[in-house]
Structure 1
Amino acid sequence: MERAYSLLTIRSADDDARVIEGMASTPTPDRYDDIVEPLGAKFAIPMPLLWQHRHDSPVGTVEFAELTEEGIPFRAQLANIDEPGSLKDRLDEAWQSVKARLVRAVSIGFRPLEYSWMDNGGIRYLAWEWLELSLVTIPANSDATINTIRSFDTSARAALGIGGGHVVRLDPPARARATPFVIRDIKREVSR
């Protein structure tokens, strides 16, 4: 399975809902000059949201994804449970890590279906099966940062019976942009 990283943007940091939104993949060449074409994705919703690409560590589900020429925007929800135990600890760690901006990126796990070699030596993935989305710590693009966090005080909102909150806008570095990245420590199903 191949993996490609991209920028994660949190649009709401509601501790009850635990909803995140971002861009799962873009057609920008990665560090190996490979391109994952967004319009070539084949997938089904809901899709697993994993913690650090560990298939035995799901943390939620991808509830929405849309194929566009510019990329694949997504919305996912991290699970939230009250029962103490290792599952609650993992879910809380994932959510707190995203909110604290310790985990700032996402990565797609996919299986190539159709591809072509480019003149620069890279691969253009024309069709691919999107298997999972992961929250990851180390994106290929070191400038990838969360641009916006909308923080809600859920206890005050509940006490007043209204929605509310404030927006914290974080300015990304001037050269920050979402860049996909395929990890090469996994054996490819294709050969050059």
Structure 2
Amino acid sequence: MTLKRACSLLTVKSFSEDERVITGIASTPSPDRDGDILEPEGAEFGSAIPFLWQHDHSRPVGQCTVRRVSEGLEITATLAKPVPDMPSQLVARLDEAWAAIKTGLVRGLSVGFRPHEYTFLDGGGLHFLRWELMEVSAVTVPANAECTIRTIKSYDR
């Protein structure tokens, strides 16, 4: 099996302009719209996971950290801020991602993962028991409605 994706919704709670940080639930033990289940306890992940725009590996927008919580896997993503010498295309992507998230136009979180162990579910779908988290993305259309971004914040100077 190759790289798979699973999605969740995010809800904007607050934000400011200086620091671009979001938190949310990226995976729960509930079935997604495809009938698949990602077991949060079976997730393997490192200390810094790429945060992508719309699952496009050529369009990173930040980094995130992951921790296990009672609802599943919680991510904290820091979106990069433009700096003066950045190429204009990168500045446009970073600003587009931040604006779309903070206004609620893009409310989905989605994980890209590599399965290591899974079982087939009655009625279709897969139950991923062990899997490696490769990336988390902000996406327009999510699959798992239980996963939400809980906060969007920045710290004003």
Instruction: Calculate the TM-score normalised by the size of structure 2.
Output: 0.86
Q: Deviations over 1:29-66 (max 9, x none)?
A: 1223211101111111211000000000000000x311
2:19–2:154 contact (8 Å) kept in structure 1:
no
- CA gap 1:148/1:49 in 2 versus in 1, 3 angstroms: closer
Q: Which has the higher contact order (CA 8 A, sep 6+)?
A: 2
Q: Quick check: 1:66 aligned with 2:67?
A: yes
Q: Quick check: 1:86 aligned with 2:74?
A: no
Q: Deviations over 1:60-110 (max 9, x none)?
A: 000x31124521011110000222511111101100110111100110000
1:53 aligned partner, one-letter code: H
- CA gap 1:123/1:101 in 2 versus in 1, 3 angstroms: same
Aligned equivalent of 1:165:
none
- Cα distance in 2 for partners of 1:71, 1:132 equals 16
Q: CA deviation at 1:137?
A: 0.8
Indicate the structure (1 or 2) with the bigger Cα radius of gyration.
1
- CA gap 1:119/1:142 in 2 versus in 1, 3 angstroms: closer
- Cα distance in 1 for partners of 2:150, 2:75 equals 16
Q: % of aligned pairs identical?
A: 50
Higher strand share: 2
2:26 aligned partner, one-letter code: A
Number of aligned positions between the proteins? 153
Q: What's the C-alpha RMSD, in Å, of the aligned pairs?
A: 2.3
Aligned equivalent of 1:77:
78
Q: Deviations over 1:122-149 (max 9, x none)?
A: 2100000100000001123579876666
- CA gap 1:92/1:74 in 2 versus in 1, 3 angstroms: same
1:39–1:69 contact (8 Å) kept in structure 2:
no
**Structure 1: gaps spanning 5 or more residues:** 159-192
- Cα distance in 2 for partners of 1:150, 1:130 equals 24
- Cα distance in 1 for partners of 2:63, 2:133 equals 13
